[in-house]
Amino acid sequence: MAASNIKQKKEFTVEEMFAAFFRYLVIEKNASPHTLSNYKRDLLQFYAFLKKTFGKDKVPPFGDLSHVIIRQYMGNLQEKGLAKSSIARKLAALRSFYRYLVREELVEQNVPSLVSTPKQNKKLPQFLYYNEIEQLLDQPDGSLTGLRDKAILEVLYGGGIRVAELVGMNINSVNFSVGYIRVLGKGNKERIIPLGQPALKALRQYLEARRVASKKTDNEAPLFLNLRGGRLTDRSIRNILNKYVEAAALTHHISPHTLRHSFATHLLENGADLRSVQELLGHVNMSTTQIYTHITKSRMKSVYNQTHPRA
């Protein structure tokens, strides 16, 4: 049953409404599997709360729920110790669901939009100092796997890209003649990012070794392959990074996103303007990029406190 046909029925179940909404996310919003999984989990959790609150067979229609019950749900999540960021995400999922219901004329008002988003604790992104980056990049060996891993680390740091963007790249995503890579970011938005010579050199060495080993090297082939010749996954990249973090004896918790944070922080520390960094990172809003200015100010204050005789 298509999402647009749901109104043809006089009555429909919660399961049918959820299913129609999920199809809408996939077909019209082009939601990723990760986003879809989160929305499903969040909406099912909300419905479980309603059944527990009202009784399994006594849950009111979504259109009859007030903002008070949404606030109670938010309070319930807080009592369970959920982080404010997770609560905010679950509220956003409810708002999206209700927005769809309003569009389909299944409810009259987007009730969750009447509830304020929990105020977030400002947490500065973790980053690595440049000497730590060098230490990490020095770990892979000269084997085919080592050359691949070296190229992965160089591109993550040299391009500041997201891990999902990295695993989605093909060989033709790299333009060696002009030193750029092409990635597909959030919302299927393409952006072009310059790469430095170390990253380009690492990519050339990896692809040459791959060609010699008779692995896939046609332009449409994935840029980074696993041992079975398939495309690497997000989890594989995290496992690869963890391996070299341990080898480099770096003590902090480091994820692929840490390299993206390091990329942005080092650019700003060396004089890049905020607008350029925003474009390179693919941020829609400048406010998302501005968090990195807090990091550089925080580090500046730390240097002052440690070095000035009157600090």
How high is the pLDDT of residue 165? 95
How high is the pLDDT of residue 270? 86
Residue 289 has pLDDT above 70, yes or no: yes
Pairwise pLDDT comparison (295 vs 81), residue with the higher score: 81
The whole-number average pLDDT for the span 198-205 is 97
Pairwise pLDDT comparison (287 vs 147), residue with the higher score: 147
How high is the pLDDT of residue 7? 44
Q: CATH for 130-307?
A: 1.10.443.10
Contacts of the segment 137-143: beta carbons below 8 A, 24+ positions apart: 137/198, 138/248, 139/244, 139/247, 139/248, 140/244
Domain 3-114 listed as CATH 3.30.200.20: no
How high is the pLDDT of residue 9? 41
How high is the pLDDT of residue 215? 83
Residue-range domain boundaries for the chain: 3-114, 130-307
The whole-number average pLDDT for the span 183-200 is 91
How high is the pLDDT of residue 8? 37
Residue 122 has pLDDT above 80, yes or no: no
The whole-number average pLDDT for the span 164-171 is 95
How high is the pLDDT of residue 298? 64
Task: Check if 204 is active-site.
Answer: no
The catalytic position among 7, 9, 52, 186 is: 186
Task: Check if 215 is active-site.
Answer: no
Task: Check if 257 is active-site.
Answer: yes
The catalytic position among 148, 260, 261, 266 is: 260
Contact between 74 and 87 (Cβ < 8 Å): yes
The whole-number average pLDDT for the span 22-47 is 91
The catalytic position among 148, 162, 210, 266 is: 162
How high is the pLDDT of residue 293? 77
Band (pLDDT 50/70/90 cuts) for residue 31 is: confident
Task: Check if 292 is active-site.
Answer: yes
Task: Check if 261 is active-site.
Answer: no
Cα–Cα nearest to 44, from 75, 17, 6, 8: 17
How high is the pLDDT of residue 146? 97
Greatest alpha-carbon span in the chain:
78
Average pLDDT, the chain: 88
Task: Check if 210 is active-site.
Answer: no
The percentage of the chain sitting over the pLDDT mark of 90, rounded to a whole number, equals 64
Q: What DSSP assignment string belongs to 201-263?
A: HHHHHHHHHHHHTT---STTSBSSB-TTSSB--HHHHHHHHHHHHHHTT--S---HHHHHHHH
How high is the pLDDT of residue 197? 94
pLDDT digits (tens, 9 = 90+) for 83-93: 888 899 999 99
